[in-house]
Chain A
Amino acid sequence: ILNVEQSPQSLHVQEGDSTNFTCSFPSSNFYALHWYRWETAKSPEALFVMTLNGDEKKKGRISATLNTKEGYSYLYIKGSQPEDSATYLCALNNAGNMLTFGGGTRLMVKP
């Protein structure tokens, strides 16, 4: 059983603050690391798929980095907005098409 850990479990920030959270995973047999954004009552939405050590991806104010040797990925949000409020999930792919998800970080941005 793979252990994918996300921290913190929840986070409250003020509008305009920048924030980041962590996904930790076993570094052996790494294939890809996925980040998803999941708003309440909606479908999880893919943000990034990262495969190479040192990868950095960006989508608007959201960016992510990957360190496969030490087994972690960071997700950054610059200038948080209320519409960024969601649960952010990471998922490890280390064999075929099975994803192992972390427990998520629930972000709440106060106006």
Chain B
Amino acid sequence: ETGVTQTPRHLVMGMTNKKSLKCEQHLGHNAMYWYKQSAKKPLELMFVYNFKEQTENNSVPSRFSPECPNSSHLFLHLHTLQPEDSALYLCASSPGRADTQYFGPGTRLTVL
């Protein structure tokens, strides 16, 4: 185990639903990340938070809304998603910028 947990592990939602993905780390890290992996594509960075402040938004549509209430927790709020948003969503954390990132097991999201 890497010390990064994600819930739920699997999620099926309709296009009109609102749901949230949760990530938690107990490693004392200051940076947290959301990544997306679609089928047959490389892992793609979505958002970066350093000390609870968002420092990167990699041109992600507004139907994905991140929240970092403290340095241990990271959320990804989802609303009015499209079927093409179905993917594996991975959370990661690192001690600081440019350090090794520790990944959670991911949430497999299916949008119907």
Q: Please determine whether chains A and B interact with each other in the same assembly.
A: yes
For this complex, into which size category does the number of interface residues on chain B fall?
A: 20 to 34
Q: Which residues of A contact B98 (CB under 8 A)?
A: 31-32, 93, 96-97
Are B101 and A102 in contact, with the CB atoms below 8 A?
no
Distance between A26 CB and nearest chain B CB, rounded to angstroms: 15
Q: Which residues of B contact A42 (CB under 8 A)?
A: 105
* 9-residue interface stretch from A12-20, A44-52, A54-62, A70-78: A44-52
Are A98 and B43 in contact, with the CB atoms below 8 A?
no
Distance between A8 CB and nearest chain B CB, rounded to angstroms: 15
Q: Which residues of A contact B42 (CB under 8 A)?
A: 4, 101-104
Inter-chain contact count A-B, CB under 8 Å?
Answer: 59
* 9-residue interface stretch from B13-21, B64-72, B76-84, B89-97: B89-97
B2 at the A interface (CB under 8 A): yes
Are A43 and B101 in contact, with the CB atoms below 8 A?
no
> What 0/1 pattern do residues 23 to 53 of A give for CB contact below 8 A with B?
0000000011010100001111110010000
The complex places the Cα of A91 from the Cα of B101 at a distance, in Å, of 11
Shortest Cβ distance from B104 into A: residue: A43
Shortest Cβ distance from A46 into B: residue: B100
The complex places the Cα of A102 from the Cα of B1 at a distance, in Å, of 23
**Apart from A31-B98, A34-B101, A98-B56: 16 A-B pairs, beta carbons within 8 A:** A36-B103, A43-B90, A43-B106, A45-B2, A46-B101, A49-B100, A91-B43, A93-B98, A96-B97, A96-B98, A97-B33, A97-B97, A98-B45, A98-B48, A99-B45, A102-B42
Q: Which residues of B line the A interface, CB within 8 A?
A: 1-2, 4, 31, 33, 41-45, 48, 50, 55-56, 58, 90, 94, 96-106
